Amino acid sequence: MKTLFERTQGLTDIPFHYCPGCTHGIIHRIIGEVLEELHLLENTVGVTGVGCAGFAEQYINVDFQGSAHGRAPAVATGIKRAHPELVVFTYQGDGDMVSIGLAEAVHAAARGEKITAFLVNNANYGMTGGQMAPTTLIGQKTATSPYGRQSEQSGFPLDLPVLISNLPGAAYVATVTVDTPQNVFKAKRAVRQAFKTQMDGLGFSLVQFLSTCPTNWGLTPVESIQWMQDNMFPVFRIGELKQPQ
Amino acid sequence: MKTLFERTQGLTDIPFHYCPGCTHGIIHRIIGEVLEELHLLENTVGVTGVGCAGFAEQYINVDFQGSAHGRAPAVATGIKRAHPELVVFTYQGDGDMVSIGLAEAVHAAARGEKITAFLVNNANYGMTGGQMAPTTLIGQKTATSPYGRQSEQSGFPLDLPVLISNLPGAAYVATVTVDTPQNVFKAKRAVRQAFKTQMDGLGFSLVQFLSTCPTNWGLTPVESIQWMQDNMFPVFRIGELKQPQ
Amino acid sequence: METMFMKGNEAVAEGALQAGCRLYFGYPITPSTEIIEYMAKHLPARGGTFVQSESEVAAIYMVFGAAGSGERVMTASSGLGISLMQEGLSYMAANELPAVLVNIMRTGPGLGGLGPMQGDYFQATKGGGHGDYSLLVLAPASVQEMADLTMTAFDLADEYRNPVLILADAALGQMMEPVTFGAREPKRYDKPWATTGAKGRKRNLVTSYNLQNEVGEQKSIYLEEKYRFIQERLQWAETYQTEDAEYVLVAYGTSARIAKGVVNALRENGVKAGLVRPITLWPFPSKVFTPLNERVKGYLVVEMSAGQMIEDVRLSTEGKVPVAFYRRQGGIVPQHDEILEEFAHAFSVGGILA
Amino acid sequence: METMFMKGNEAVAEGALQAGCRLYFGYPITPSTEIIEYMAKHLPARGGTFVQSESEVAAIYMVFGAAGSGERVMTASSGLGISLMQEGLSYMAANELPAVLVNIMRTGPGLGGLGPMQGDYFQATKGGGHGDYSLLVLAPASVQEMADLTMTAFDLADEYRNPVLILADAALGQMMEPVTFGAREPKRYDKPWATTGAKGRKRNLVTSYNLQNEVGEQKSIYLEEKYRFIQERLQWAETYQTEDAEYVLVAYGTSARIAKGVVNALRENGVKAGLVRPITLWPFPSKVFTPLNERVKGYLVVEMSAGQMIEDVRLSTEGKVPVAFYRRQGGIVPQHDEILEEFAHAFSVGGILA
Amino acid sequence: MSAMVEINADLCKGCGICVSVCPSRVLALGQVVNSQGYATAVPVLPMACTGCRYCAVMCPDVAIRVMLT
Amino acid sequence: MSAMVEINADLCKGCGICVSVCPSRVLALGQVVNSQGYATAVPVLPMACTGCRYCAVMCPDVAIRVMLT
Amino acid sequence: MEQRVIVAGFGGQGVLFVGQLLGYSAMVKGLNATWIPSYGPEMRGGTANCSVKLGDEEIVSPFITRTTHLFAFNEPSLLRFLPSVEPDGVVLVNGSLIGADSLKNVSSLAVVVPALEIAEQLGTRNSWNMVMLGVYLQTQTLLNRENLKQGMGKMVGQKHPERIESNLQAISAGMKWMSEQGGFIPNEIVAARH
Amino acid sequence: MEQRVIVAGFGGQGVLFVGQLLGYSAMVKGLNATWIPSYGPEMRGGTANCSVKLGDEEIVSPFITRTTHLFAFNEPSLLRFLPSVEPDGVVLVNGSLIGADSLKNVSSLAVVVPALEIAEQLGTRNSWNMVMLGVYLQTQTLLNRENLKQGMGKMVGQKHPERIESNLQAISAGMKWMSEQGGFIPNEIVAARH
Ligand SMILES: Cc1ncc(C[n+]2csc(CCOP(=O)(O)OP(=O)(O)O)c2C)c(N)n1
Ligand SMILES: Cc1ncc(C[n+]2csc(CCOP(=O)(O)OP(=O)(O)O)c2C)c(N)n1
Ligand code: SF4
Ligand code: SF4
Ligand code: SF4
Ligand code: SF4
Ligand code: SF4
Ligand code: SF4
Ligand SMILES: [Mg+2]
Ligand SMILES: [Mg+2]
């Protein structure tokens, strides 16, 4: 009997507490798998932001520090500068990284900090009950944009990878999706590339995942994937925006 | 007898306290002149950051609020949202706006906040005695980069206008210089354009000035202008990066 | 006059609207989120402006700007977010800017948990920011008071030109109770100092920088006197059965509600107990204690923290009366029976336990 | 052993280096700037890493990360910057992360001025962040102590797994004095909890989130007990001429230096005066007061603030002895003659004024 | 050799994503509710499984194992 | 008509920028020190002034007035 | 007299709604009432509960230590809150999700309601929680059907009159079912007791 | 014995350097010493000053209320600090920038030093502040030339021996000039007094 697919050592045994169908789980898994495949489980420190994503520390099977909301890139900087031999990554939501933590993220990129940042963009603040994020789409209704986000009041969705991809310190920048098995494989390749970029000492790496939040979108998990494809894909630039030369 | 040039009503009578030859003074003057020319002196609120620039409130002849270090765009947002009929601008140094205040600046741009931001980039923290700023050039010696800024440790100079110019909320973005009379005239046109952009309700406007800091550069005022031309001009993208369509 | 069944958080928001709050800037955080959501929904329709800021740091400076240009403005958060506002609050106090902020306290320190807690008392009352300044701090204990004290807060802010903080634990934010809104008209204050464009007047500066020490000292003394004046005038507390009390419980917010039940139970058992419930936490209502200190046999302070308000109680009792303490932490609310037990133990009063 | 003529700020930085500080993250601010500049210059050559952070918020979280992975690390700022760190400090205390921070106090509130002040005492000692926690707070009064207490701070931080704050006014940061560095070897502490990669051990988590209230309460009680343990053990103060003193001045930092001169002057005039100079501000050295309370006729607290430490002095004297107060603000240092005058006035002691 | 899919009913939250991505319609949401209250996915056409792993790759709760027997 | 440049010695800080930009070499830093301790700029060739205003436009302390008489 | 009601179950079962409705109904009747939910990310885990206090005296604490009425919509909730129920309290159990086994240790009055079945008969499967409310009405005297009707009106407004109507029908069905069990006799065993 | 010295002038006149040199010199002699500058953005305005205390006893405060020695390098500094000078204190004035007029109200000993001229004669125009230090040496007994020499060595290290040398020459010239004025007789008027 051969096993074609089983749970990676890169994840702990603790069941995810995420809502049914929340794609945070897929992203956790592929990060865990890549860490295992690159033999990094004993050599890595993860840093969580605050948000649903903040529980990653329970699930991904490496040393972890729980940062404050938005500050994971600074915490990761502290760890990496103290231990340049470690691989250090952050796992942050879009509210966490693009709203309150924007300065820390952009400055880490500008400094060319040799860390990897994973940004899970579900177009809202999941944890706190579905408020507007900087990534919320125009017209999207959330708990704090009850009439739909209006650019006149709240501006335009912010695509962080696009924003930072021209900074010389940013070595690898990609936006991936987890809507189909094929795209999950692509996403996993991006995760691997991001870690490799760090291991090669080339600078800052960022992978943005487009992800679902069925609970706060008020859709079923399967509908959510569809909604993401229909509404988020056109707004965020998908692909490898920057690769190390 | 005709007056070809005299002190604008847009400035108060208080003598500048800036160091001899510091080009903050030129920038103050052209802002004051444009405010006078556009009849905005009774209709404008300025917001200062903290830095040498923080004293602008003493000199530019309009209502002012003194913000905390880096937070002027947030303060300006508060004022503008309370009084959309006013013209609101910030006057900030490069440390103030590009380092500690990056998030507030980028988010104001992303929101398309109808304010005008003036960024005086002198490649260091003038007020506190010449420390490294995000705008400090590679190799430049400052009080906190005593061996010259090294990209390996401190990353690369950050050109804020370039960073934000693709954001849809940013309506007018320019970098100007005050090294020659001709360029001062150009700078003044950019100031006017920035205010007009705001008055037309088109979104966020940003003018970056390349400016000198003879005291902390350890050069005479005239040498400083030369140093700025030789060293800063190649690094920061000069010109109107974005104009309202 | 309408009575509604509302969450404390919603009552705060509705109270603000009825007090003429025109702008809200804030960032979501459990367990205060209903406030920002209520504002997002209702403020625009009622002629105001709602902006979700990118962070609490930005929120407090947006509040700064709006307050500085003379408008009624509010923000709300919970401990972590309030910590991020400390620089801004020091700035606002220094600039004498009126605004209302709300801390719906969850557990700390650090990320903590979401349960109700009273661990931000020191931060609120001693000044978590730098320098000598005070916020006015109001502590509601019911959903009705969440509404009423929010309205009052706007008036106090304008009256004294100072930020006012509503300090409530998460239980008060999350619970629903009937709440009645009267037809209270918001007071209007002239704000000649506000930056509204220097039309027909000298230009206004809202700044807190003092180049010269002498000027700085004058400013400090001015603020100190203002604060002393407020301390003289504004010491609010509810006293319950204290007229003849031999023992007095001291508590605020949700702790005070439970303590009131304990007082009732003690009275039923023949113990002359009473309750002091501070409503202003800054200024702390020390005056209320002065007459009590002369005849009370003991105070029992009940808090949802390791013991913070107890310092002010001790300062108010001047060592004249023993001060006992009961507390629960981590989001757990002190229980009626436990308080009774502690009371019995602290003051060796028997026969009161069921 | 070498004696140097150094600024207090430089002594702090050199002390940190000699204590084995391996990383410095910080943001410039007057009047602390010499610390960051010294570190930028000397840390790399001495095997460490210097990073200028984009802000004080980032600085404290970089410190958090480095401390969490087991290294000796420091940051320094002044009041405004420390205010921005309040969330981070609460997080660090909650996670029991050892690190040293330095507040070279300038005047506040708001932007304030650059002169020396002691207005951040409350922020430092009561916890300006959210939740129940304490920083250990050390108050040097000479350039020598700026160096020595910084070295001590690193040991205390590791010993008690808690951030330690050096609280000094700008005069101490800016003044030069001779300072001698001995051949003190930095102590080494095992940090099995640090996140250094889970090689050959279970993985380590540095987190402060409590999903369940019960767990949260356990954590709170654990922290409370740790703090009580520290309070028992760590109450440091210099006492000067207190053995037979009838009047005791209480002051720390620069105020204490001046107060010492006043004590000398009073003694010369036949008044039995003494000085208590708290060195640990948290824990406050209450025990030092216990014997004094029984025989002293009066305390005179001298501060460069509107009166903050005086609350702790009052709590320590339990109403037994009158407590008088003298202070200057806004960057102005209390003057010898003024203090004498206040002393004469407060305690009706004549014949001591020149 | 034939492929086999196994669903861990303790982990499954009945989100239905595996059902929607399985090219061979092997899976369906069942009627049985697990201890968390979720109606979990079950292989209703187990023999049709090709071992393509789509279901496992998309399962947010890593509740699926795929084997070759 | 001829142009005339006037330097406010109280405001001038002797930075020398006006001197460096004047195309007609009208200005020079003098020997006289003002109350702030600065050796201020003075028109040493006043008659050569063309009224081009370069000096005034570049003066950081707005110490210069240019007139046509 | 004070009622201390806990409503607990999975997210999506209308736990908070049922509790709030009790609060609204008490308020319109002029009683005091408090309602407080469990909140926060535990909800991600899929469970929810709220505490409601109703009565004619001042309600000091919104928290419940001794429960007079427990609505247990699923098994974990029953196990969690049962210890807090007073000896003469009432446990209202969703019989569609909770087996008889779980009730072995219940010493108070436990009413196992085939709520889903009753609701299905009405053709409104989702209104089973209203059926539970109907049963509850029969176990106490503070609130009656009219109070719930008015409370519902205040709560959801006049936007969905048809929903109010179908809810009231389900409440009636619950009341009817309970009275068929012999009605509620305090401190006695009713038919539904296990 | 305690000396309380204020050095004040324009930025760039070496105000802080002169003060620090006194501190270093006292330290190498085994005395106590404190030095504290005025700092911050006032410096942008172009003035600077520092306070130095030297003595064999513990120095309690680094701040000076009663000055024993004032180095006034420009007129505003003289006017600002003169009131603090003790009746038997010494005011050392940079004669090249401060006119006799300004000294009208000086009741202490004021020595007006033609420092620039003396330094120019040495060919080291910039060392005029060292000339002032030489004059100072003649007005007190705590420090001597050797102390300054050693202090300077400690302060600037061995990197610029030629600078130390030229500084010492200027100090000597100042000493010489002062002794030519009849030397320093405490509480008496010396030639240079206006
Ligand atoms: C300083 C601070 N502000 C606010 C919060 C409350 N908060 C927790 S998570 C969160 C947003 C999470 O959204 P996101 O980062 O997008 O993650 P998601 O839950 O969507 O995965 C907020 C605002 C906090 N914990 N700390
Ligand atoms: C929160 C905070 N951190 C630090 C400072 C100290 N500070 C004042 S100005 C300044 C830098 C100013 O540099 P820049 O913005 O470039 O202005 P410049 O003086 O160069 O014109 C700093 C770090 C402060 N005032 N507040
Ligand atoms: S709230 Fe949204 S992001 Fe959070 S676990 Fe649920 S579905 Fe996922
Ligand atoms: S320090 Fe630099 S920026 Fe500041 S006034 Fe002087 S020259 Fe200008
Ligand atoms: S492995 Fe492929 S065929 Fe088999 S159940 Fe999963 S998705 Fe269907
Ligand atoms: S994808 Fe996973 S969690 Fe979702 S139904 Fe299938 S097995 Fe269950
Ligand atoms: S106006 Fe032109 S010509 Fe005249 S002095 Fe100025 S720069 Fe020279
Ligand atoms: S440019 Fe202005 S300040 Fe500079 S020397 Fe000329 S007149 Fe004086
Ligand atoms: Mg999100
Ligand atoms: Mg600058």
Name the residue ranges covered by the structural domains of chain A: 24-242
pLDDT value, residue G101: 72
Confidence at residue H190, expressed as pLDDT on a 0 to 100 scale: 44
Hey, where are the domains in chain G? 2-190
pLDDT digits (tens, 9 = 90+) for D8-37: 999 999 999 999 999 999 999 999 999 999
Amino acid H96: pLDDT = 81
Residues G25-40: tens digit of each pLDDT: 999 999 999 999 987 6
3-class DSSP state for residue C75? strand
Are residues G35 and C175, on separate chains, in Cβ contact within 8 Å? yes
Structural domain contains residue D354: no
Residues C221 and C247 in one domain: no
Least CB–CB distance from B4: residue in F3, F59, F62:
F3
Residue range A203-217: average pLDDT?
97
The reported pLDDT for the residue numbered H185 is 44
3-state SS, chain D, equals CEEEEEEHHHHHHHHHHHCCCCEEEECCCCCCHHHHHHHHHHCHHHCCEEEECCCHHHHHHHHHHHHHCCCCEEEEECHHHHHHCHHHHHHHHHCCCCEEEEEEEEECCCCEEEEECCCCHHHHHHHCCCCCCCCEEECCCCHHHHHHHHHHHHHHHHHHCCEEEEEEEHHHHHCEEEEEECCCCCCCCCCCCCCCCCCCCCCCEECCECCCHHHHHHHHHHHHHHHHHHHHHCCCEEEECCCCCCEEEECCHHHHHHHHHHHHHHHHCCCCEEEEEECEEECCCHHHHHHHHCCCCEEEEEECCCCCHHHHHHHHHCCCCCEEEEECCCCCCCCHHHHHHHHHHHHCCCCCCC
Instruction: Give which of C292, C317, C298, C277 is closest to C172, Cα–Cα.
Output: C277
In this structure, the residues whose C-beta lies within 6 A of any atom of ligand 1 are A 49-53, 69, 93-96, 120, 122, 125-128, 133; C 27-29, 56, 80-81, 84
Task: For chain F, list the contacting chains (3+ Cβ pairs, <8 Å).
Answer: B, H
Length of chain G: 194
Average pLDDT score over residue span A126-154: 97
Cβ contact B155–A103 (<8 Å): no
Give the nearest partner residue to A169 out of B100, B102, B156, using CB atoms.
B156
* Ligand 3 centre distance from Cα of residue G96 (Å): 28
Mean pLDDT for chain D overall: 96
What is the predicted pLDDT for the residue at B48?
97
Residue G159's pLDDT is 79
Q: Do chains D and H touch (3 or more CB pairs under 8 A)?
A: yes
pLDDT over threshold 60, residue H43: no
Identify whether C352 is part of a domain.
no
- D and E touch per CB criterion (3+ pairs under 8 A): no
Q: Which residue ranges in chain F fall short of pLDDT 50?
A: none
Query: ipTM of this model?
Result: 0.97
Within 8 A by CB and 6+ apart from B109, the residues are: B164, B167, B169, B170, B204, B206
- The reported pLDDT for the residue numbered E13 is 95
Quick check: B205 and B116 in contact, CB under 8 A? yes
| C252/C218 same-domain check | no
> Which atom of ligand 7 is nearest to F50's Cα?
3
Backbone angles phi and psi of F7, in degrees to 5:
-110, 125
Which of F36, F40, F61 would you mutate first to test chain H, the one with the most H CBs within 10 A?
Answer: F36
Q: How far apart are the first and last CA of chain E?
A: 5
In whole numbers, what is the pLDDT of chain H averaged over residues? 87
Residue type, B82: A
- Whether residues C329 and C308 share a domain: the answer is yes
Q: Nearest ligand to the C-alpha of residue C30? A: 1
pLDDT in tens, B118-156: 999 999 999 999 999 999 999 999 999 999 999 999 999
Domain boundary among C214, C233, C252: C233
Q: What confidence tens digit (pLDDT) does each residue in D170-209 have?
A: 999 999 999 999 878 889 999 999 999 999 999 999 999 9
For position D2, what pLDDT does the model report? Answer: 86
Q: Locate the DSSP E strands across C90-202.
A: 99-105, 136-138, 163-169, 176-181
D295-314 burial: b if 16+ Cβ within 10 Å, else e = ebebbbbbbbbbbbbbbbbb
Edge-to-edge order in the sheet of strand H2-10:
D2-7, D176-181, H32-37, H47-55, H2-10, H67-72, H85-94, H109-113
- Interface membership of C330 toward G (CB under 8 Å): no
Dump pLDDT digits (tens) for B184-230: 999 999 999 999 999 999 999 999 999 999 999 999 999 999 999 99
Q: Is residue C353 part of a domain?
A: no
Task: Give pLDDT, residue H12.
Answer: 83
Q: Per residue in D32-43, pLDDT tens?
A: 999 999 999 999
Of D29, D52, D111, the CB nearest to B132: D52
Alpha-carbon B110 to chain mean position? 19
pLDDT digits (tens, 9 = 90+) for D140-157: 999 999 999 999 999 999
Pair type for strands C2-7 and C176-181: antiparallel
CA distance B158 to chain A (A): 7
pLDDT at D166: 98
Residue A110's pLDDT is 98
pLDDT for res A13: 97
Sequence-separated (6 or more) residues with CB below 8 Å from residue C51 = A153, A154, B77, B81, B111, C23, C24, C25, C62
Take atom 26 of ligand 1 and give the residue whose Cα is closest: A69
pLDDT (0 to 100) of residue G41? 56
For residue G186, the model assigns a pLDDT of: 41
- The CATH number linked to C11 is 3.40.50.970
Beta strand C176-181 pairing with C237-240 = unpaired
Give yes or no: residues D22 and D129 share one domain: yes
pLDDT at H30: 95
Write down the residue that tokens 């930092």 correspond to.
D253
G114 C-beta neighbours (distance < 10 Å), count? 16
pLDDT digits (tens, 9 = 90+) for H87-114: 989 999 988 888 767 777 677 788 999 9
**C37-63 confidence digits (pLDDT tens):** 999 999 999 999 999 999 999 999 999
Distance, CA of B12 to CA of G2 (rounded, Å): 70
Residue E31 has what pLDDT?
86
Pick from B65, B71, B104: CB nearest C68: B65
H40 — pLDDT class (breaks 50, 70, 90): low
Query: Is C210 in the same domain as C305?
Result: no
Q: Identify whether residues C295 and C225 lie together within a single domain.
A: no
The residue among C2 and D254 whose pLDDT is bigger is: D254
Residue in chain A lying closest to G41 (CA)? A127
pLDDT of res. G76: 86
| pLDDT (tens digit per residue) in H118-161 | 999 999 999 999 999 999 999 999 999 999 999 999 998 877 88
Q: What is the tens place of the pLDDT at every residue in C263-311?
A: 999 999 999 999 999 999 999 999 999 999 999 999 999 999 999 999 9
Domain count, chain D: 2
| In the predicted structure, residue H194 carries a pLDDT above the cut 60 | no
Same domain, C229 and C241: no
Residue C278 belongs to what H/E stretch?
strand C273-278
pLDDT score recorded for residue F37: 80
Q: Buried b vs exposed e over D155-178: b needs ≥16 C-beta within 10 Å?
A: bbbbbbbbbbbbbbbbbbbbbbbb
How far apart, in whole angstroms, are the C-alpha atoms of residue G84 and residue D53? 53
- Chain A neighbours, 3+ Cβ pairs < 8 A: B, C, D, E, G
Q: What is the pLDDT of residues C5-17, one digit of tens each?
A: 999 999 999 999 9
> CA-to-CA distance for D32 and D146, rounded, in angstroms?
12
Provide the residue range defining the domain that includes C318.
237-347
Q: What is the CATH superfamily name and number for domain B24-242? A: Thiamin diphosphate (ThDP)-binding fold, Pyr/PP domains (3.40.50.970)
Q: Strands D23-26 and D49-52: what pairing?
A: parallel
- Global confidence as pTM: 0.97
Q: Does F10 touch chain B (CB under 8 A)?
A: yes
Q: Is B121 in the pocket of ligand 4 (CB under 6 A)?
A: no
Q: Distance from D39 to chain B by nearest Cα, in Å?
A: 8
State pLDDT tens for residues B29-61: 999 999 999 999 999 999 999 999 899 999 999
Q: Is the pLDDT assigned to residue C243 strictly greater than 80?
A: yes
Q: At D254, which CATH number?
A: 3.40.50.920
Q: Could you give the 3-state DSSP secondary structure of residue F32?
A: strand
Q: Are B39 and B196 in contact (CB under 8 A)?
A: no
Report the b/e string of D12-49 with b at 16+ CB within 10 A.
bbbbbbbbbbbbbbbbbbbbbbbbbbbbbbbbeeeebb
Confidence class of residue E10 from pLDDT cuts 50, 70 and 90? very high
Does the CB of D197 have a partner CB in chain A at under 8 Å?
yes
What's the average model confidence in pLDDT over D296-324?
97
Cβ neighbours of B74 in C, within 8 Å: 53, 57-59, 61-62, 64-65
Question: What is the nearest CA distance from G151 to chain C, expressed in angstroms?
Answer: 10
Residue C1: its pLDDT value, please? 75
Single-letter amino acid, residue C181? F
Distance (Å, whole) CA A219 – CA A224: 6
Q: Which CATH superfamily is domain G2-190 in?
A: Pyruvate-ferredoxin oxidoreductase, PFOR, domain III (3.40.920.10)
pLDDT score, position G43: 47
Radius of gyration of chain B (CA): 17
Structural domains of chain E, with CATH? 3-68 (3.30.70.20)
Mean pLDDT across C190-215: 94
User: Residue B1: pLDDT band by 50, 70, 90 thresholds?
Assistant: confident
Residues in chain G with pLDDT values less than 50: 42-43, 185-194
Does residue H186 have a pLDDT over 50? no
User: Rounded to whole angstroms, what are the CA distances from B183 to B211, B238, H126?
Assistant: 12, 11, 38
Q: Is C265 on the interface with G (CB under 8 A)?
A: no
